[in-house]
Structure 1
Amino acid sequence: MLAPLRYSAFRYLAVGRLVNMLGNGVAPIALAFAVLDLTGSVRDLGLVVGARSLMTVLFVLFGGVVADRVSRRLVLVGSNVLGALTQAAVAALVLTGTATIPLLLALSAANGIVSALSQPASAAATPQTVPPELIQQANALIRLGINAAMIGGAALGGLLVAAVGPGWGLAMDAITFAVAALAFTGVRVAASPAKSTNTGIVADLREGWTEFTARTWVWVVVLGFMVLNAALAGGVHVLGPVVAEDTIGRSAWGLVLAAETAGMVVGGLIALRLRVRRLLLLGVVCMLAESFLLLGLAVAPTIVVLLSAGVAVGIAVEQFAVAWDTSIAQNVPADRLARVYSYDMLGSWVAIPLGQIAVGPVAAAIGTRDTLLIMATLVVLAVLGMLASRDVRRLEVAAPTRAGTAAPITPVDTGPSGGPTTESTEPATRA
C-alpha cells in the first residue's frame, strides 16, 4: 500500500499536492464569503467564480501541450509561484477593504489561467514517479493526502471566515501556493519524449485529440461529467453558501465541506485495497451519490443531513477518481498523457462557468429549492448516460506489463537519502 513512498520524486509530488489542497480547502469558502460581504449578490459570486473556471477552460489545452513538451517540474513550480502572487493580491484587496468586483474578476481570471497550466502537468506527473505496477496505489495515496489536507482546509476556512474574516483565508491560500512550489522543485523525472519533437502546437493538439477520441469510454465519461460538474458547481459552490448563510451558518458550512473530504479519505483507504476488474464501472456507479448533497440542501438543510450527505459523497467520489486516473494511466502513452488529460479537463469543465453564472438568475426566477432539485436530477441523468455505454461498463483494469499498454517512465529509487535524481526508460508507443 505504501510502496510508492519509496520513490523520492513521488514523495515530493505528494507533499506539493497535499499543501496545494490545504489552501484549496480554505480558498472557495473565503472567496465566496468575501464576495457576499462585499455586495451580498449571488449573481456577483457566480461571476467571480465563473471567471476563474472560464479561463481554466480556455487555456487548459495549451497547458496540456506545455506539460508534454516542457519539464513538468518547471510547469508545477512556475504555476504555483504565479498562484501565490495572484492569491496574495486578492487577499491584500480584501484585507485593506479596497476590493471591487471588477478587480476580483480580473484576479480570478488570472488564477484560472494558472490553474490551466498546472493541472495537466500535475495529473500527468504521477505515472512518471513510480513503476507501472504501483500506479493504482500511487493514485490512491495522492488522493488520500489531498483529501486529508482538504479536511483541515475546509474546516479551517470556515473558522477563519467566521472568526477573523475571509481575507485571512485567502492569505493562507497564497502561502500554501508558495510552499507547494518549493516542494515541487524535488519532482525530478525525465522529460517527456514529446519535448524532443519539432511539431507545432496545432500538430500536438491534433495528436492529443486522436488519443482522446480513440477510446469511447474516455469521451463518454467526459461528456457525462460536463453535465455533472456544471450542476455541482452551480448547486454546491454557489447556492450552497447562500443556503448555509440562512440555515446552518458559515462555520458549519465549512464543516460540511470538511465532512465530504473526510469521506474521501475513507474512500481513499478503500481504493488502496480495492481489487475489482471493472474498476471504471464501479467508479461511475458511485457517482450517483453526488446528488445527495444537492438533495440535502434542497429538502433538509440541517447540519446532520448535510454532514451525512457530505461523507457519503466523499466516499463515492474517491472510488471514481482513483478508477479514472488508473484507467487513463494504463491506457494512454506517457508522452501524450498530459494532452489527453487536458482534453478531459476541457470537456469536463467547459460547462462549469455556465452553471456558476446561470444558477443565480435561475434561482431568482424559480426559487433556490427547485433549482437544487433540478441540479440533482441532472447529476443522476449524467451518470445513467455514462452507464449506457458498453465500453464504460466493460473496461477492465489492465495488467501493467501487457502488450499494448504504455508504461510510465520508471524512476530509480535513490535510497533513504531521498535524493531527487531519477533515470528512466522511454515508453513505447501504443501497439
Structure 2
Amino acid sequence: MTHPLGLLDFRLLFAGRTISTLGDAVVPAALAIAITRVTGSSGALALVLGCAMVPRLLLLPLGGVVGDRFNPRVVALVTDLVRAAAQLSVGVELIGAEPRLLHIAVAEAIGGTASAFAMPTASPLVAATVEGPLRMQANALLASVTSAARLGGPALAGLLVYTAGAGWAFVLDGASFAVSAALLTRITVRHTPADRRPFLADLTEGWTELRSRTWYWTSLVAHGAWNGANTVLLTLGPLIAARELGGDGVWIAMTQAGAIGMLAGSLIAGRVRPGHPVLVANLGLALYALPLLALATTAPAPLTVAAYAVAMTGLGFLNPVWQTVVQQEFPEQVLARVTSYDWLLSLAAAPLGYTLAPLAADAWGSTGPLLVTAALVAVACAGTAAVPGVRRIGRTAPDGPKEASGPAGSDEQSERTETAQARA
C-alpha cells in the first residue's frame, strides 16, 4: 500500500474529519456576527466564547484518560453526536424569532465539554488506522484539510449569514458532525486499553511519560510560547494594520496569507522527510518572530503580509510532523493522555496572551510588547536546538525506524519504545 487513502478505515476517517472540519470552519465568523446582531455587545460574545473554552480547558486531562481507557472510535463517535446536537440547537435558536443568549451559551458549553473528550482521540485514531510508514502522509492530509477549511471557512460563513442567515451556519456544522459520526460507525479500530486504575494514577502515568522525554516537554514549552505570541499578534495586529499600515484590508490580507501559508506548510510536510524532524519543525516555529517584528516596526504592508505567510508556513509544517513523531514515540496506551497535555498547554497560553497584550499595550504602547514577544518566541523555539533529545529524535525520517527517545541509559524507556514500534 503506497498511500493512506488506499486504506478503507483511514479513508472513512479522512472523509468524516474533512466534512466536520469544513462545518466547524464557518462557526467562528457566524458566531461573532450572530451574537453581536442579537445583543449588540462584545461582552456577550466573550461570554459565549468563554462558555465553550473554559470546560474544554478544565476537562482536557479527563478527556485524555477516557481516550486511553476506551476505544477512541467510540469516544469520538459519542462526542460527534453531542456536538451535532449542541450546534443544531444553536442553529434552531438563531433561526427562531427571539434567540436567547442563555440557551446559546449553554449549548456552546456542552459543545466545549464534548471537545475536551474529542480532541485527545484525534492522534490515537490516526495511529490506529494507519501503519507507521504512512502516518506522515496521513497527518499531512488531515492538516491540509484543516488549513484549506481555514482559508475557505470565513467566505462560506459570510455567504450563509448574508443569504440564509447565521443560524443555518450552525445547522450545517451540526449536520457535519452527524455525518462524521455515521462514518465512524463503519471504521474498525484496534485498541489496547490502558490498565484500569484510579483517575489520579492515570493522570500521573501520562505526566510521567511526558516528563521522561526531554524532547517532548521542552518542545511543549516552546509551543506554549508560540501560542502566547500568536494571541498577542491577534490582539494587537488588527489595530496596527488599520491605523498604521493602510486599513482593515491589510489585516484581511494577513489572515488570508496566513491560511495559504499553513496550507503550503502542510503540503510540504507530506513530501519532505527531514532527518531531524522535531528540530526542523521547532526552528520553523521560530519564524513567527518575523511578523511580530514587522508589526512592531510598522514595516510596509506587503512585507508584513509576506512575513505572516512565512511564519504560518512554519506552523503548517510543524503540525503533521509533530503528530507523526508523537504517534511513533509514545505507546498507544498513553497517547490520548500525552496529547491532552499538549492541547492543555496550547489552550492555557491563549487566555494569558489575550489578557496581557492589551494591558501591556495600554501601559507602554504596542511596540514594546511586540518586540518582547518576538524575542521570546524566537528564543523558546530556536532554543530547543540546545536539547540533545530534540536533535536526536528521528535521525531517520519521521516514517522510518524509530530511535529510543527516553533519557539516556533508561532500559525501561527503551523497552517501551520497542513495544510501541512493534505495535506500529
The question of a shared fold, defined as TM-score above 0.5 by the shorter chain, is answered with yes
Aligned to 2:329: 331
**What code does the residue aligned with 1:33 have?**
I
More displaced stretch, 318-327 vs 41-50: 41-50
With normalisation by structure 2, the TM-score equals 0.82
Cα contact 1:54–1:350 (8 A) shared by 2: no
With normalisation by structure 1, the TM-score equals 0.81
**What code does the residue aligned with 2:341 have?**
Y
Q: For 2:56 and 2:192, locate their aligned partners in 1 and report how far apart those are by CA, in whole Å.
A: 23
Give how far 1:218 is off.
0.8
Give how far 1:65 is off.
1.0
The verdict on how the C-alpha distance between 1:342 and 1:139 changes in structure 2, with shifts beyond 3 A counting, is: same
Q: Deviations over 1:272-328 (max 9, x none)?
A: 221221111110111123345556666669985675455323321122112211221
Equivalent runs, 1:21-420 vs 2, <5 Å: 21-38=21-38, 44-96=44-96, 98-99=98-99, 103-161=103-161, 166-194=166-194, 197-233=195-231, 235-236=233-234, 257-292=255-290, 308-357=306-355, 359=357, 375-397=373-395, 399-400=400-401, 404=414, 405-406=417-418
Q: For 2:215 and 2:20, locate their aligned partners in 1 and report how far apart those are by CA, in whole Å.
A: 30
Cα contact 2:289–2:378 (8 A) shared by 1: yes
More displaced stretch, 134-143 vs 398-407: 398-407
The verdict on how the C-alpha distance between 1:389 and 1:234 changes in structure 2, with shifts beyond 3 A counting, is: same
More displaced stretch, 375-384 vs 67-76: 375-384
Q: For 2:136 and 2:14, locate their aligned partners in 1 and report how far apart those are by CA, in whole Å.
A: 14
Cα contact 1:46–1:357 (8 A) shared by 2: no
Q: Secondary structure at the match of 1:273?
A: coil
Q: For 2:55 and 2:90, locate their aligned partners in 1 and report how far apart those are by CA, in whole Å.
A: 17
**What code does the residue aligned with 2:109 have?**
A
Cα contact 2:13–2:184 (8 A) shared by 1: yes
In the alignment, does 2:10 pair up with 1:10? Answer: yes
Give the total of aligned pairs.
408
The verdict on how the C-alpha distance between 1:244 and 1:402 changes in structure 2, with shifts beyond 3 A counting, is: closer
More displaced stretch, 348-357 vs 211-220: 348-357
Aligned to 2:407: none
Structure 1: stretches of 5+ with no match in the other structure: 410-425
The verdict on how the C-alpha distance between 1:395 and 1:291 changes in structure 2, with shifts beyond 3 A counting, is: same
- With CA pairs under 8 Å and 6+ residues apart, which has the higher RCO, 1 or 2? 1
Cα contact 2:219–2:384 (8 A) shared by 1: yes
Q: Secondary structure at the match of 1:284?
A: helix
Cα contact 1:248–1:303 (8 A) shared by 2: no
Q: Deviations over 1:178-199 (max 9, x none)?
A: 22222222331122232xx332
Q: Deviations over 1:253-276 (max 9, x none)?
A: 677545433322322221122122
The verdict on how the C-alpha distance between 1:25 and 1:7 changes in structure 2, with shifts beyond 3 A counting, is: same
Q: For 2:231 and 2:54, locate their aligned partners in 1 and report how far apart those are by CA, in whole Å.
A: 12
Give how far 1:216 is off.
0.7
Cα contact 1:90–1:170 (8 A) shared by 2: yes
Q: Deviations over 1:70-120 (max 9, x none)?
A: 111111111111111222233334444645665554433322211110011
Q: Secondary structure at the match of 1:263?
A: helix
Cα contact 2:286–2:379 (8 A) shared by 1: no
Give how far 1:121 is off.
0.6
